[in-house]
Every structure is written in C-alpha cells, then in structure tokens.
Amino acid sequence: MMDADKVANFFPLTCRKDVLNLINSFITSKSPDPVMISLILGKIEHELTQFPCKNDSSVNDLYSKVDFKELKTMHNNYLEYLRKPVLIEKTFTNDDDDDEEKTICGRNKLNREHAQTSKREKIKEIYNKVWFKLARSYRKDRHHMQTIYSLLNDQKLDCFGVSISVVLSCHLLDLRDVTLVMSEDHSWIEFNIEDICNDVINNDINTTNVVQRDTIRGYDDEVGRQSMEVTWHGKQTKDKRGCRVVSPEKRWLTSGGQAVRCKSGISLVAAMVCKMNPIIDAGAESKELLALKFVCVP
C-alpha cells in the first residue's frame, strides 16, 4: 500500500498541477492505494461544486480545503470497517449445478466449489459492507455519488459508484484481480478464477481425471474470469448482487459490443476522473473541475 507519508508530501494542494502530480505518483507507485485517491478526488469534487468560483484565488482556496489528515482518518476507519467481521446476509447467485457438472469426479468438484466459493464469498462480504454503508432510501440519479468520499460522507452512491467502490475496497484488501467492467450504461466486476484450475490439478490424487478449463463452472467471456453484479441498473433497484452477467442484454452494450475492463491502476484512475461531475446546480458547472478533468485525462 502506498505510504501515507509520501501522499502527505503533496499537501496542501494549491492548484490543479498539484492534483496532477499526486495522480501521477499514484499511477507510478508499485503499491498504490486506490481508496485514498478516490477519497481525494471525491473531496476535490465536493469542494469545487459547492458554489461558482469568481476568480483564481478562490479556486486555490478551495483546493486548500482538501485536508489530508481528515481523509487519512476516513481511510483508516474504512479499512478497519472492511476488516471487521460482520454478519453477512445471504445473497443469491445463478450458479446452479447442471447435469453435466454432476457427472464430474466428486473430489474434483468439491475442490473446485471450495476454491470458487471462497473467492466469491470474500467478494460478497466486501460488497455487502459497501451496501450496508448506504442510506436506506435516496434518489440514485443525483450528482456527485461516484467516490468512496461520497459513500463515507453522504452514505450515497450511484450504480458506477457502487461498482468502483467494491473494486477499490477489494484492492485495499489485496484482492487485486477484481476488475471494474463498464458498458455505456452499466457497470459490474470480474474476478480471476484461474487459480482454481491449478489448485484442482495439483490436489487431485487420481491423475486419470484431468480437469479441463471448460468443465469449471462459471466461466464467462475470458478464460479464467467470472463476472458478478454488485449493483442495480436503471429504475429497477432490485437487489442483483451475486448474479453473473453472461447474456448480452444484461450488459447494456449499446454500441461497439465490447465492455471496457479497467485492469490497471491508470485505467481505474481514468475512470474515476472521467466520472467526476462538474455540475454545481441546474444552471452552473465548475469550470475548474472541467479543466482538471481535461488535464488529468487529455
């Protein structure tokens, strides 16, 4: 995880160049802290969209309100919350066994199910904790609800906000193979189950039963990857956590036919910056936030 002292060296922020330098340090770090960058970007968005800025000096004053000590406290409290065991509700999936699966060697099947379930259950625990932080009822089409700062400060997230918060929380707990996937109108996650094949083969005493990848239940488009809903879509706020996203109509790919997979730190930062919303009110936008987005993601 990126050293807090190194992050603190970039504060106080005074202008968009300082923010750009901070983001560059995150991207080039060998152990980036994705939750901290989400908190910082969320705080910046919050300060820059409270009211219109009249001059450059007032803009610089707003940047200086991004207090690292405050964000560090929020970060540490959130990490402690994620690590704390809680009673997790049961959620449904659509991973029911089929007839072909039932014919596979019992030992191999148990090994696969144990490996796959343990990974899925870890992710479920994390997305449940994100959901438990949300307010019980609020309009999910409001602005400024895409960061962990929004989650912790306002207890509100939109669809994208839930997805990326789950991914960043997984990375914070060293589940770094969890990937954010986005279409034009939806977002979900994917995670790696390639290790299941190796675990099963290595632990299988009966060498005559060679486990093929296509016999592993739950693969989606990419070999060794499995998708999972962690949010809702559109006006249908029904809980879809745990469902796989396997059919094209559930992916909401309205053009091009391909989803975007944010597999690297730079792509995650790009997604966070692009989702920063400059709207102040119905008649005004933050020109500074628009300029910041242009500088960070040209």
pLDDT in tens, 32-47: 788 999 999 999 999 8
Give this prediction's pTM.
Answer: 0.77
pLDDT at residue 144 in the model: 79
Mean pLDDT of the chain: 74
Q: Which long-range contacts (CB under 8 A, 24 or more apart) does 23-27 make?
A: 23/269, 23/273, 23/296, 26/2, 26/265, 26/269, 27/265, 27/266, 27/269
**Quick one: pLDDT band at residue 211, thresholds 50, 70, 90?**
very low
**Quick one: pLDDT band at residue 30, thresholds 50, 70, 90?**
confident
What does the pLDDT average to over 53-68? 77
Lowest mean pLDDT among 97-106, 116-125, 158-167, 279-288: 97-106
Residue 68 predicted with pLDDT over 60: yes
Q: Looking at per-residue confidence, does 78 or 256 come out higher?
A: 78
**Quick one: pLDDT band at residue 147, thresholds 50, 70, 90?**
very high
Q: Looking at per-residue confidence, does 7 or 98 come out higher?
A: 7
pLDDT at residue 182 in the model: 86
pLDDT at residue 121 in the model: 85
Q: Which residues contact 73 (CB under 8 A, 6 or more apart)?
A: none
For residue 298, cis peptide bond before it (omega within 30 degrees of 0): no
For residue range 90-140, list pLDDT tens digits in order: 443 344 433 333 333 344 444 444 445 578 888 989 989 998 898 877 766
pLDDT at residue 102 in the model: 36
pLDDT at residue 86 in the model: 62
pLDDT at residue 79 in the model: 94
Q: Read out DSSP for 162-216?
A: HHHHHHHHHHHTT-TT-EEEE-SS-EEEEEE-HHHHHHHHHH-S-TTSPPPGGGS
